[in-house]
A = this chain, B = another copy of it.
Amino acid sequence: MQVTILGNNSALPAFGRHPTAQAVSVCGEIILIDCGEGTQSQMQRYGIKWRNIHNILISHLHGDHYYGLPGLINSMSLLGRTLPLHLFAPAALLQIINTLLLVADTVLSYELIFHPLPEGTATLCDNLNFKVSCFPVEHRIKCHGFLIETKNKGRRILPDKCREYEIPNAYYNALKQGEDYERKDGFIVKNELLTDEGPKVKKYAFCADTLFTKSYLHIIKGADTIYHECTYLEVDKEKAFSRFHSTAAQAAQIAVLAETKQLLLGHFSSKYKELEPFELEAAAIFQNVKTGLEGVTYDI
């Protein structure tokens, strides 16, 4: 699992930075989280293919998190998309999108399947490869964070070894479950010879936009990577609180409390030209911190 940052700025575009959008690459497809103005151009710039997007998650209805969505939806239609697209977003967005399509006399070339986000914590999507859930964070208007987890697919077959020990294909599923293989002559081939552990289950937690709170800590605990907004530096702590945002130091405190392996920072206020101070402030509290830079892909 990887995440490519498409926009790392807060509401006002500044210094060439864009509003929030992230492309999470998981098991060969892209989950788009938030879609600020200009996201479709950022996708072009950084090679994110719309064909690979089947799910879009919108955290809340402040414009810097979804004003790029109508354009992206429309462009996919102009480009002839046929596969359905699942949109998980606050309920009010459905009426907005329908109105925009109506006044433009536009019928999309594909099915847009709208899933209103519930009030609280819930599973949004659960398939063979991954599970996506949402959880409430604390912002000025209703806002959700998201948790994306890959599935444990059992042990990974080592094809060369299986051929060497003449294991029939029909037995592969049993091997994935960790079983040994008993040959007709009674000889036991140990599972460890035929499989390895395979890719580890990964968890990515997206926490935006929120003030510092422990209310959802139990949900993101143990995530491999946590993205946490830090609109401000600690020197502007009061401003962060009054505007329902966080500081870099607070993001780092969440990382410590959640026992994550990596912290990714973003949603920087346009009042700051330089981003280094955010990473420095957070690193004093939590070591493995990265500034989410646009166009950069981070392993989760």
- Show the binding face of A for B, using Cβ within 8 Å: 11-14, 18-19, 37-38, 40-41, 44, 61-64, 67-68, 70-71, 74-75, 78-79, 90, 92-93, 95-96, 99-100, 103-105, 140-141
Contact = CB atoms under 8 A, between A and B. Distances in A.
B140 A78 contact: no
A67 B37 CA distance: 8
A65 B141 CA distance: 29
Given A12-B79, A13-B44, A71 B104 contact: no
Contacts of A62: 104
Contacts of A37: 37-38, 40-41, 67-68, 71
A71 B63 contact: yes
Nearest to A45: B16
Given A11-B78, A104-B141, 10 more contacts: A12-B79, A13-B75, A19-B71, A37-B37, A61-B104, A63-B74, A63-B104, A92-B103, A96-B103, A99-B99
A41 B13 contact: yes
26 contacts: A11-B74, A11-B75, A11-B78, A12-B78, A12-B79, A13-B40, A13-B75, A37-B37, A37-B38, A37-B41, A37-B67, A38-B41, A61-B103, A63-B70, A63-B100, A63-B104, A90-B103, A92-B99, A92-B103, A95-B99, A96-B96, A96-B100, A96-B103, A103-B141, A105-B140, A105-B141
A77 B197 CA distance: 54
Nearest to A69: B67
A110 B68 CA distance: 24
